[in-house]
């Protein structure tokens, strides 16, 4: 028996909107959406996760974690202590991904990064949660 990293939970003023935004950003799917929260799973999740019925344990442990958004009353006040790093494959255009996210409502943010850094770009989602878009990766 082992544990699986299941979700990263994000406090949100509007969890439904945040779930939809992240689903679009990750080309994923929103499941279990309610007024109090929503769960986003990445676009590469096997379809059996969405189907009714149990998923065999050997497959379940290989699924990547999702993002869960839960309602809170107060807006984000300070820099995240935990953030997501996103990376395109080496065959994909990183700058095009940055532009896609910016067009979708992300914004560039300064969290004190050095101006000479070119391996990642710091962005924030519509509620101000920082994340990084890394340089393209092969692995």
pLDDT per position as a tens digit, 80-125 = 888 999 999 889 999 999 999 999 999 999 888 877 777 889 999 9
Contacts 24+ apart (CB under 8 A), 42-48: 42/66
Domains of the chain from N-terminus onward:
7-71 (3.30.720), 84-134 (3.10.180.10)
Q: What is the mean pLDDT of the chain?
A: 84
Burial of 117-132, coded b for 16+ CB within 10 Å and e otherwise, reads: eeebbbbbbbbebbbb
pLDDT in tens, 6-44: 889 999 999 989 999 999 998 888 877 776 667 777 666
Between residues 34 and 65, the one the model is more confident about: 65
The structure's pTM equals 0.83
Mean pLDDT of 129-137: 91
């Amino acid at each position: 028996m082992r544990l699986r990293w299941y979700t990263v939970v994000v406090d949100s003023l509007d969890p439904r909107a945040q779930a939809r935004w992240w689903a679009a950003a990750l080309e994923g799917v929103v499941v279990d959406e309610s007024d109090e929260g929503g769960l986003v799973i990445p676009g590469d999740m096997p379809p059996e996760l969405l189907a009714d019925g149990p998923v065999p344990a050997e497959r379940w442990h290989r699924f990547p974690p999702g993002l869960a958004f839960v309602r809170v009353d107060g807006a984000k006040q300070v820099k995240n202590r935990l953030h997501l790093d996103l990376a395109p494959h080496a065959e994909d255009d990183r700058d095009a991904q940055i532009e896609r996210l910016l067009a979708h409502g992300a914004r560039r943010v300064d969290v004190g990064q050095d101006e000479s850094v070119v391996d990642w770009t710091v962005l924030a989602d519509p509620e101000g949660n920082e994340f990084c878009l890394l340089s393209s990766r092969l692995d």
